[in-house]
Amino acid sequence: MSFKTLLIYNSPKLFEILDEIKRKLNIEVLYIDKKNYDKEKFDKIENYLLISNQTIDIIVDNFLLIDTPKKISNLIEQINLNFLKLKFDKQSNVKIGKYILNLNARSIHHGGKSLDLTEKESNMLVYINTHKKVSLKKLQENVWGYSSNLETHTVETHVYRLRKKILETFNNDSLIKSDKDGYFLDK
């Protein structure tokens, strides 16, 4: 099975054309009509793009509306660009407990709310998330590039400000925790 799936919605001619050339495109092509749409389990398909030449009345994350008629080379280019965008978006998201950290946008999301982060805040969250528990000195060295013997309160100040921002936006005062051994995330 291919790692990319193109779902053609209610356009039999488009399906016929793309199904003929699917091997050259290295994609799987499936047809979905209006009556079978509700039965489709999109969460079971890992990398898909739903394509249609008409607006559909449901919300789908990976949806491409095309104008027809269109040169097949332009359509293939548009499909490939959308698959690249989906891959880029997927690679930029890091799961931190119930939150999603978007590294490209430098923002953290949960429950329909979003919080913009600084580069250091993003890097700090990723570093702590990757290492489970991190000492103050390790954060100084690896996120800020400071010497471990430098006496500074930069990390504590950033943690304090980030905790405050998370509390104000998500009403959560326990995402970043600390004890005598360092910082960790409460997932």
- Eight-state DSSP code of residue 132: S
19 and 29 Cβ atoms separated by less than 8 Å: yes
What digits encode the pLDDT tens for the residues 123-156? 999 999 988 899 988 888 888 887 666 667 888 9
Write the single-letter amino acid at 88: F
In the chain, what are the domains? Answer: 5-91 (3.40.50), 93-185 (1.10.10.10)
pTM of the model as a whole = 0.57
Pinpoint the alpha helices (H) of the chain. Answer: 12-20, 22-25, 34-37, 72-91, 119-131, 136-139, 154-170
pLDDT of residue 1: 39
